[in-house]
Structure 1
């Protein structure tokens, strides 16, 4: 594997040194054409590829080669503008923008790798942008679990009453079929997947991009159900600084800070965060419903801009210590009866190197290299277990636009992990494990008469143990007229066996088993079809409706059975898993009101279990909505959100009741630098413990039930955000 890394670095060096020309700095100042006020957040694109976003003062700065360049500018609430500039020397250009309705297709996403517009991309990508990240920072600053759960078709399922861990389920499939990316890099798989989304604060993110359904061609075989790509912030020309302090009624205290600045040839971003949570027994059964938690997060990144190149050096460090269980044990009053606890101490250290080079012809070359070291020490009343996983990812790719809005994306990558148990136990039969995959991918996008787009993607992966996987994908988008559009897609995926992503709910070390010799990878094929309708009229009002249909088939599914002696056995099912349904969502803006409403109908069957073919803990019917209004004159924003979760099947086949979840928020700006947020989650105070006890057995040896509803009850938080 070492020689592949050398080849990558040589290829990168040759690509960066080639075709370099003298460059100049061009600065754009955007302002409202009528009032003259600065316009922040403007996306600047060069040759149809997005390059930089204007900062809070309406300033965007970039390095470009000398010569004639075509620029386009887009931002919410303004008409798109275009300007051709002959660049000779460092230049400052003032750009007036005309107020108007911005079409959805002007939102550009990174997950497609070719900077496609969100609405016209053949593969549907849903974006939670910078505005949503800023709002979530005041509502739930600790992590992004809550905001992901607001998206239709996405279910955030808490998997442990004692550790508080959660996973992301898309279109009814288990969380192991969702690929979690950070800046396009897979970091949260296998043993290192624990506590993934619980360690990512929204203040550190520019946006989140979601793909529902198969997305394995560009990012590897794990994206069977979908993927979540978290995009980190980048520095802008204006100094940015934010400090957020938060306190909840459930004894959680948060402090997060972010600083960034871009200079002519250098820039930086710095995020630091701390979370402290005291254990709380909400339902007074003697066990914690919210664990004790101390979490530390630091994420510095350095940016260098030599000529037409961006070089990023970054480090991300996280320490996450949780302990839950018997409240007497947590208060250090254990005795012969009160002994139960579960403790997870995790550390994650990640280093990154990213090089992006843009050639004069519009072509781009990208290199990414990431190494991540993850350690989890688990302990309970019976035993200790400590494991370490070293994960690595290297990629070299290129983007080549050509013709009339056509593009080619291609690349090669190496990904792998090495796991070692440093504290073995008789319950844990795994001492070491490793995976290595070499992959190549290519994607070509054709624009047909400016109304239709056809996209063909191919990936070929070779896994050291399980051999070759060929993954084609075909997607088609057609804009019928200014109101109607359709999408069609089909894609293949795979998932290699991994003992740390079991079939049911969550893993603890006593529920891990070695993989049998004959087990084979899971393989999938996913289909999607959808129709879109949009309407825009005067006054900034708009309506967008998306109706999607999906079908995913997983062959050779891996599942586990518990033997009479309590050990776990993995095996391949002889019949497939089938997930199908429909997903509807509506976005509307009307007289300063913003509405998002979604409904998902999902049927998932495990055909390898003819007696219990249902998928546990998967509601067939789920609805959600967000209603908000910004009262600009008063500096106040108010919002109400809710979700309906239909009946689910427990592991034994019994049905849970359906329930409603509601939340409300009020945000007040005080001057230009202070924002106060009051938020209430679970207004109706619905808890699973209202229906049933959360555990069976004795206090000494409790057996906790799978979670299908909230267990922490109503929570109010107050946050203060300071703009530095």
Structure 2
């Protein structure tokens, strides 16, 4: 009896053990059409959000700790139709899953700027507008030399040219000056201070995967400088299939562009290469004797090498060189006929060298370690008929961060250090002298999935500046998915920016006018809030519409304002009362069959509360709108129309500028998958500031150029030929 009882006990124990055994499913995921291995695919057990994993660099994933019997696995990936498959466990087979592309979600965008967790754009806690790969490819045939034009197509973003002779420009968001916008490349600040005005002019769209724009404060991950907003440019990465694009572009404004891109990845190594050349002759559009488009010779080279030590890690090492000569001024002086009556010119020789390092290791499917750093050396030689200046600026950035995904939390934590150093050449001393800024920061951000459809994101950053002390920056954001169609966001954040006499201004001053920051001038601090609601639904079988309505407000305490005295010297001091900007932003995106449509409107009320009257911020339109309409004809033709409206702005004398409408039209003819020809016309209505007023005052020998509030280069037509040798239907 004892032996029988013992055997029965053992059998029952084994039965219970087997019934509760934990099993494993192994899966390889591929694209159904081209059999490409897909990494980052989400695989989960249906009905249990604790059982989730993702595929590695070879498309392989293991889902562990599963109970026995029949279970349903859900496979989902951006741009593909979700798939459910039933498995019987235990199971020892490596299953092959083929995902089919989904036209309705193929254009869904994944963002990394706000969370670093690759969230879908409509589910992110922070409002992010993304110009994706298709936008970059299209813009590379319309304005191949830089991305300034496409950024200006987004409502609420104003690209303001600050110099008529050099073409300098800065990015203004939500009515704030360009110094309140942080410009990043792959999450690293490379363009600021002395080099900031030429930053966006030297980045060709063909070299980018996508551009992410955050309107409003985003200080936790990237520092306090993102007060008005953030622009993060994401570089392209190689894929297993070779990718190449070559284009030649010619414009009616005497500009020629030649750009080339090539990328490929093998098992353990890969690379990307971009090379671009721009030749621009000087053009006097309004026939006033001065160039409205400077003579420009620009070369950009950007090779990057990628190493893949394992399926879960990669290292990239890149160098970017930008070499540019710009010459503007009196047309007679530029043609070599300078004399006492026509002496004025301004010449800039620019050299920018950037080295970047990025390393990412997935220690498991939910833990990522990232190390990245950059070093930039910018040198500018500036000469006019009255002065000469040589100077350089060095920028550095280094960061160590971790990303941890749990059932309820996405946690980002890290430390970084950033700094810049400006130094004039010994033979050309200037009033600001040499100076440097160094910041050491630590940050922590948690995106907490409170309930189904509810995310709460909290962040805290602590920075120590070598001159201005410590800054504690809290941030909180909430996203609520109300139902299948409706969602809402709300957020609050703080930021800061330290005084720098060389940050871009509304108009350019000479380096000899700028005075050093006086003792006692404090850093600017900001307090920003936003509230928004969005609606998204499908239209038919292959269409969708997204409507977003957002409200924003930002207050900047102790704003640092530059004031020009009677001698022309510019001094910087804090104002006693704050700068305030508030308003709302509305946009609609729609895709139906072969049609794509976007319209956006931004109302901005920017107020200088430190003034007793005329408190409006100069050269800031209250009303701004932008719209695009694109039609794809059976994959052979693509035509588009875009327009932007700018309401009146206030000049220095408080008079109002005219409002104006900027329009453009393009047509693309595709000759199979490899060749295409694009005809584009910018500024169809030939809107120019010079149609309403002279661009300068004073004598021809010593002109004083007015602040720019509108385009000055007039109508332009360009024809671009593109060849993609590895493209497929």
Give the TM-score, by structure 2 length.
Answer: 0.89
Q: 1:72 deviation in Å?
A: 4.5
Q: Is the 8 A contact 2:109 2:132 kept in 1?
A: no
Q: Is the 8 A contact 2:177 2:505 kept in 1?
A: yes
Report what 2:307 is aligned to. 304
Q: 1:512 deviation in Å?
A: 1.7
2:523 maps to 1:527? no
Q: Matches of 1:291 and 1:390 in 2, distance apart? A: 26
Q: Is the 8 A contact 1:637 1:666 kept in 2?
A: yes
Q: Matches of 2:340 and 2:416 in 1, distance apart? A: 54
Q: Matches of 1:106 and 1:660 in 2, distance apart? A: 30
Q: Matches of 2:255 and 2:125 in 1, distance apart? A: 42
Q: Which runs of no fewer than 5 residues in structure 1 stay unpaired?
A: 1-24, 32-36, 49-59
Stretch moving more, 289-298 or 624-633: 624-633
Report what 2:677 is aligned to. 676
Q: Matches of 2:136 and 2:597 in 1, distance apart? A: 17
Q: Is the 8 A contact 2:539 2:545 kept in 1?
A: no
Cα distance change, pair 411–64 in 1 and its aligned pair in 2 (3 A): farther
Cα distance change, pair 90–372 in 1 and its aligned pair in 2 (3 A): farther
2:195 maps to 1:192? yes
Within the candidate set 309, 316, 322, 2:326 is matched to: 322
Report what 1:135 is aligned to. 138
Q: Matches of 2:556 and 2:505 in 1, distance apart? A: 13
Report what 1:62 is aligned to. 57
Counterparts of residues 433-582 of structure 1 (less than 5 Å) = 433-501=435-503, 503-582=505-584
RMSD over aligned CA atoms reads: 2.4
Q: Matches of 1:185 and 1:224 in 2, distance apart? A: 16
Secondary structure of the structure 2 residue equivalent to 1:218: coil
Secondary structure of the structure 2 residue equivalent to 1:382: coil
Q: Is the 8 A contact 2:539 2:592 kept in 1?
A: no
Q: Is the 8 A contact 1:136 1:147 kept in 2?
A: yes
Q: 1:562 deviation in Å?
A: 1.3
Q: Is the 8 A contact 2:139 2:205 kept in 1?
A: yes
Give the TM-score, by structure 1 length.
Answer: 0.90
Q: 1:470 deviation in Å?
A: 0.3
Greater C-alpha Rg? 2
Q: Which runs of no fewer than 5 residues in structure 2 stay unpaired?
A: 1-25, 45-54, 65-72
Post-superposition Cα deviations, 1:117-158, rounded to whole Å, max 9, x if no partner, equal: 211111111111001100001111110001101111111111
Post-superposition Cα deviations, 1:492-513, rounded to whole Å, max 9, x if no partner, equal: 0000000102654234313321
Q: Matches of 2:247 and 2:512 in 1, distance apart? A: 39
Cα distance change, pair 686–100 in 1 and its aligned pair in 2 (3 A): closer
Q: 1:260 deviation in Å?
A: 0.5
Q: Is the 8 A contact 1:159 1:166 kept in 2?
A: yes
Q: Is the 8 A contact 1:27 1:61 kept in 2?
A: no
Q: Matches of 2:336 and 2:35 in 1, distance apart? A: 56
Q: Is the 8 A contact 2:473 2:495 kept in 1?
A: yes
Q: Matches of 2:426 and 2:631 in 1, distance apart? A: 54
Within the candidate set 212, 218, 240, 1:215 is matched to: 218
Q: Matches of 1:206 and 1:646 in 2, distance apart? A: 32
Report what 2:663 is aligned to. 662
Q: Is the 8 A contact 1:151 1:598 kept in 2?
A: yes
Q: 1:418 deviation in Å?
A: 1.2
Q: Is the 8 A contact 2:682 2:717 kept in 1?
A: yes
Secondary structure of the structure 2 residue equivalent to 1:511: coil
Q: Is the 8 A contact 2:39 2:56 kept in 1?
A: no
Q: Matches of 2:335 and 2:224 in 1, distance apart? A: 45
Post-superposition Cα deviations, 1:93-128, rounded to whole Å, max 9, x if no partner, equal: 561416463298763434421222211111111111
Report what 1:116 is aligned to. 119
Q: Matches of 2:371 and 2:99 in 1, distance apart? A: 36
Q: Matches of 1:587 and 1:175 in 2, distance apart? A: 27
Cα distance change, pair 154–30 in 1 and its aligned pair in 2 (3 A): same
Report what 1:702 is aligned to. 703
Post-superposition Cα deviations, 1:614-637, rounded to whole Å, max 9, x if no partner, equal: 11111100111000111125x000
Within the candidate set 240, 244, 248, 1:245 is matched to: 248
Q: Matches of 1:110 and 1:490 in 2, distance apart? A: 17
Aligned length: 679
Q: 1:192 deviation in Å?
A: 2.0
2:390 maps to 1:378? no
Q: 1:82 deviation in Å?
A: 6.5
Cα distance change, pair 164–638 in 1 and its aligned pair in 2 (3 A): same
Report what 1:711 is aligned to. 712
Q: Matches of 2:293 and 2:458 in 1, distance apart? A: 47
Q: Is the 8 A contact 2:183 2:191 kept in 1?
A: yes
Within the candidate set 581, 586, 589, 1:587 is matched to: 589
Q: 1:448 deviation in Å?
A: 2.1
Report what 1:6 is aligned to. none
Secondary structure of the structure 1 residue equivalent to 2:711: coil
